[in-house]
Structure 1
């Protein structure tokens, strides 16, 4: 009996040692025609018998062919990320991970670097997203109170169109893509972190926590402080914010994707109240001065256009306008995550006659537009957004597909060979 037991034990150990592949399947039946970032927990790979300390390769089984796929481990070391390309349309895709030496070289297209006070996320040496960590001051003759750091500008398409704008003369406090809170209360007193000209508060860069580049994404995480100038004799930090921005390589010449994830808490003894107001928090974006009422459109997940979208709620919104050479178009698809407060999320979209009838374009997901939000002391809160920056056009079906993959990671199941 002991011999039989020992024999079975040896066979089991040998089979465990020989188990060098983890087969899995991704169900993308609900995602029509878009590629999506997918994560696999390291624990599942270890449980399958692979040695994660050794080199690994990821292989996609497609039409009887085996194609190696680039992957990247996240900063925590708990997940492996890759992009599931829908080259066969919606459906199920089979993959395997195994120990072995990758034949795909490190991707030199995705990178991050600092230059003249900006941290730039680049693709093929093209800066696509720039985060400003040093102070930017307004033009000569304008009050220096409008100086700011901790914002994103420019956002540029792969085709070279700049879509954001900072310090427009009509609103010197507008800074590309940013998210200060507007009407807030601290100990019963109103403090405004948005309208810098009032001198009540601001949001500034504090430090970088990390940055990364690899075969699949390039990213950074920054700490920002929401500073109250009003309540005490000395400025005080009213909110501590961690901002993570991650740029994904979709393998397309006409579009890319990036995530904007904000986590924040208040160190104040009584916390802070975000009053209900049409501006504040979430993400706000002031678009290029080229876009006016006659060459810029809006379409939301609920079928609203630019004339009807303001104040409504949406899961996603496409803002699109004329390209810089006037021969085509470019734009951004904004996605709100289901975990966000008030999702589907309220929006602030400037009307067609904004700014003296020019119809300049401003977009914001605004989670406090209709209801106030009490931020309790020491408790963490978060908001998650994804943006697809594109040249050309993006269809309703594609927008919905991008949102579906953002809203819920596709199911990953164990697969047979």
Structure 2
């Protein structure tokens, strides 16, 4: 048997669905090869990294990594992808200096995890937890508006509460001044659908709204917890309601390995596509897109903004930023807390302008500021963001974290050669 066939046989035995017993290799702690991680131009610390596995079939046996220097066991998690190679994910513990390479050994068997990322269905929301700590809740059931507000303000398809590692809630729901700004949401404001002006942002206008449609998948694990849901942009201006866009949200919460982390970290990928042959036209406008409303009680006096260009509330509105932070507190006696949105360089019109409100605690990345655009049938708009939910004011290393997100480190998998018995 030539070398290529021997290697293919080894991969099938190691990673395929077929359960095989290899006499010369024990089921636990069998060495499969190595994974090398090379940091980019900035240091790498507690960040997710990944590598494709060479076999397209599902991995049934647990795997882990070993740091040869410390003998520390590092958990891994497998992402299965239709039509693509499975992907192995890990969060590298500790720090790699810029340009430094670390080689880890890939072995069979599970590594003990101090805590996992889990998803709980509360009957109203999908609550994502890291260990015993709540990170966020995605509201899939319609949340009725409070009795003192118009019923049209009720909604689903938003994230609230968002909670820091220290237990502070940094989002709001049905804020009295602008009750349509609930938690974290994605909506467009000035739109034209089938020749009619519509609006998915100001839901009291009763022209349109965004709502939860269905759960697609959810996954828990030692590296991440992931929720995939489908949302609908519903136009209400015609003779009957009609879905203009179907939007897939992939929400992935990463497990922070430190016992007392500075922040929680999660990603959202939005895949918005036309639900019919009708495009959605988006004329130039000053807000609309991926938005977050800050905590209840955050006022102009006790809420601060900071963009990647060093701009603040006073001069940062519509700054084309790689990231933007909002931090606030209810009283002068409290400490600050907040969240940072990192915008991915593949996003439409990156760097996107960020809408910073002159008095309210909310911000939104909004491509519509730069002129008319549209979402057409067969061409989805895919946007990606990373969120850092932190105690204290804006993180000092946000540029470094953005670089790790935008330009992931190089990761290489080298499988062990088959033994003579396996040939």
Provide TM-score, normalisation by structure 2. Answer: 0.85
Is residue 198 of structure 2 the alignment partner of residue 203 of structure 1? no
Shift of 1:93: 3.7
* Alpha-carbon offset, residue 117 of structure 1: 0.3
Deviations, residues 356-403 of structure 1 (Å, cap 9, x unaligned)? xxxx3111111212222211123222100001111124444x111111
The answer on whether the counterparts of 1:161 and 1:324 sit within 8 Å (CA) in structure 2 is: no
Distance 1:293 1:55 in 2: 50
Query: What 5-or-longer segments of structure 2 have no aligned partner?
Result: 11-21, 417-423
Structure 2 residue 164 is the aligned partner of structure 1 residue 157: yes
- 1:137-286 to structure 2, matched below 5 A, reads 137-231=144-238, 233-252=239-258, 253=260, 254-281=262-289, 283-286=290-293
Matches within 5 A, 1:384-403: 384-396=384-396, 398-403=397-402
CA distance in 2, matches of 1:93, 1:83: 15
Indicate yes or no: 2:301 matched with 1:294. yes
What is the distance in 2 between the residues matched to 1:88 and 1:97?
17
Residues paired across the two proteins, number: 394
Q: CA deviation at 1:182?
A: 0.7
- Separation (CA, whole Å) in 2 of partners of 1:52 and 1:118: 30
Counterpart of 1:65? 70
Paired residue secondary structure (1:66): coil
Larger displacement relative to structure 2 (219-228 or 318-327)? 318-327
Aligned ranges 1:11-30 → 2 under 5 Å: 20-30=31-41
Rounded Cα–Cα distance in structure 1 between residues aligned with 2:4 and 2:373: 61
Bigger drift between 255-264 and 77-86 goes to 77-86
Question: What residue is the counterpart of 1:80 in the other structure?
Answer: 88
The CA deviation at 1:244 is 0.8
RMSD: 2.9
**CA displacement, residues 128-149 of structure 1 (integer Å, 9 cap, x when unaligned):** 1001011111122432121111
Q: Secondary structure at the match of 2:45?
A: coil
Q: Alpha-carbon deviation of 1:323?
A: 7.1
Q: Call closer, same or farther: CA 1:9–1:388 in 2, change over 3 Å.
A: closer
Judge conservation of contact 1:26–1:411 (CA < 8 Å) in 2. yes
Determine which of 329, 344, 359 is the counterpart of 1:322. 329
Give the match for residue 306 of structure 1.
313
Distance across 2 between alignment mates of 1:173 and 1:11: 61
Contact 1:130–1:153 (8 Å) recurs in 2: yes
